[in-house]
Structure 1
Amino acid sequence: MSSDAVWVLFHLAFFSQCLPSAWAHSAILLPGQLARDSSQSCPAPDPNLYYKPVIGIVSHPGDGASGRLSNATGASYIAASYVKFVEAAGARVVPLIYTEPPEKLLKKLELVNGVLFTGGWAKSGLYFETVTKIFKKILEKNDAGDHFPLFATCLGFELITMIISQDNNILEEFSASNQASTLQFVENANIGESVFQRFPPELLGKMSTDCLVMQNHRYGISPGKLLNNPKLSSFFEILTTCTDEDDKVYVSTVRSRNYPVTGFQWHPEKNAFEWGSPRIPHTEDAIQITQYVANFLVSEARKSLNRPVAQELLDNLIYNYSPTYCGKAGKGYDEVYIFAQA
């Protein structure tokens, strides 16, 4: 008998002693010999969920690079990090180009299962008007029985704060530009029904002690000012706060009490997909935060009743556009999608 054969027999004898008795006395079947046991079939997907969700992302004025990439009149952009953020959780993206005619934008809202408002600087003019119309439409869709989520990040959160309060001067100034921070969870906040519902307890603990989230804003709202405004306090529940460089406390995460609306003053998309600033956290814990937040958005979008027409959807997906690499400048975004309206 050859040495190879002896080696094989030895291992067979060894593993037969180590395997559980149920395995040791059962036949080992090849894939083609497996019994067709209906009890082993895969469970059917939940018919109440939509497993091809699409998120609409509203474009922001400019090119995202202070005119270095495009200074065309009417140009707008979406940072590719927001697109990757959505895609990483299993959804596709339709760009909601803010300069498009209102009727076209409203038609695009019938192609998506949720919306994301991005960060930026614009707080007036056509952009503010467009965001206001889309926000009101989102509430209308929910009031009509469709579970239609909104994620509002940084500027997006600031804008819906202005819209809900009906006060364009409600925001306060803070020193929180280009810095990582902790998140301080508000006592008795309803975490179980929020974006943090699936976070492991250990990660939630680290978020309150380690600088794992990225801040980049000059404006926001303090807890006192939000709670003292009847419109805001009845719409939002404060989940977390943060402290800026001058030790001023601002609201950093909110959830709507009655709608699937979540607001962030921080940037969950940056940890995994932006590299321009050395202060962006890129640890494994930080990356997990990005993923858990994205997963929550897309899980909410799967509850939407909207079922877009296939061809119309394909014609409007972000795949019809190409991102522009702008990371060599070492600041700002790494990639942007630019939309130049005629």
Structure 2
Amino acid sequence: MTLPLIFTEQAKSSKMLADMPSDLLTMLADPSQTSAFNAHHNGIDVKNFYKYDSLYTTFNVLASSIDPVTGREFVAVIESEQYPFYGVQWHPEKNVFELGMDPDGTPHEAIVHSPAAISATLNLAEFFVGEAKKNQRSFPSEGEEAAHLIWNYPVYGDVGAKFVQVYVGSFRTSTTEETSMA
């Protein structure tokens, strides 16, 4: 379901949202046109967020949303002041990439694919890519880098209406290996 974002004062001066055009912020906050698609049943209540020093001294809440069933206000967008840590409790990528259909030909989920929704997604993507480019870490060789690219895993496209495409494979971290969908 799409839920409007309720922006906080910190959003205006945040790294993630300060440069987003005002028409896109207005769209994300407007219940009649928001594209903030939520597919989550959990999240942290705003009031609980502020109960924990380790959360509110590390992260700023930039926006919240309200669950229409329970009336619960939950954190929808956060960022750290000190570190390049960002989080959203919604799926900006779905506006561009998820067009799943049920067998009867109807959209699987009410995902907004309007030009404004896609612009908001691309704005966030550009921001995140810019942040990632600040990282100076690299692989020791091009071969080592190539061995870790997601392109090494098959893409599955016939996974039903829920997802248009998924990657399935053994994804390694420094200490574990597990099979999962990405």
Tell me if the contact between 2:14 and 2:62 (Cα under 8 Å) persists in the aligned partners: no
Of 241, 253, 265, which residue of structure 1 is paired with 2:64?
241
For residues 124-135 of structure 1, the aligned pairs below 5 Å read none
Task: State the match for 1:298 in structure 2.
Answer: 129
The runs of at least 4 aligned residues of structure 1 exceeding 4 Å deviation read none
CA distance in 2, matches of 1:214, 1:339: 27
2:74 match: 250
Paired with 1:255 and 1:216, the residues of 2 have a C-alpha distance of 20
2:42 to 214, 219, 227: 219
How far the C-alpha of 1:190 sits from its partner, in A, is 4.3
Verify the 8 A CA contact 2:61 2:79 in the aligned structure 1. yes
Task: State the match for 1:263 in structure 2.
Answer: 87
1:85-124 CA-to-partner distances (Å, cap 9, x unmatched) read xxxxxxxxxxxxxxxxxxxxxxxxxxxxxxxxxxxxxxxx
Partner of 2:175: none
Counterpart of 2:24 in structure 1 is 203
Determine the structure 1 residue equivalent to 2:157: 325
Is this contact kept in 1: 2:11–2:63, CA < 8 A? no
With structure 1 as the length reference, what TM-score do the two structures score? Answer: 0.45
3-state DSSP of counterpart to 1:338: strand
> Structure 2: which 5+ residue stretches go unaligned?
101-107, 171-177
Give the alignment of 1:154-233 within 5 angstroms. Answer: 179-186=1-8, 188-209=9-30, 210-233=33-56
Q: Normalized against structure 2, the TM-score is what?
A: 0.82
Aligned partners of 1:292, 1:236: CA distance in 2, in Å?
A: 21
- The residue type equivalent to 1:260 in the other structure is P
Counterparts of 1:257 and 1:214, CA distance in 2: 26
Correspondence list, 1:46-65, <5 A: none
Higher relative contact order (CA 8 A, sep 6+): 1
**Superimposed CA distance per residue, residues 191-248 of structure 1 (whole angstroms, 9 cap, x where no aligned partner):** 3332213211111112111221100111111111101111111111000010112222
2-side partners of 1:216 and 1:307: how far apart?
34
Output the amino acid matched with 1:180: T
Alignment check: 8 A CA contact 2:3 2:65 kept: yes
Higher helix share: 1
Cα distance in 2 for residues equivalent to 1:241 and 1:193: 15
CA distance in 1 between partners of 2:18 and 2:127 (Å): 8
Gaps of 5+ in 1: 1-178
Letter in 2 for 1:253: V
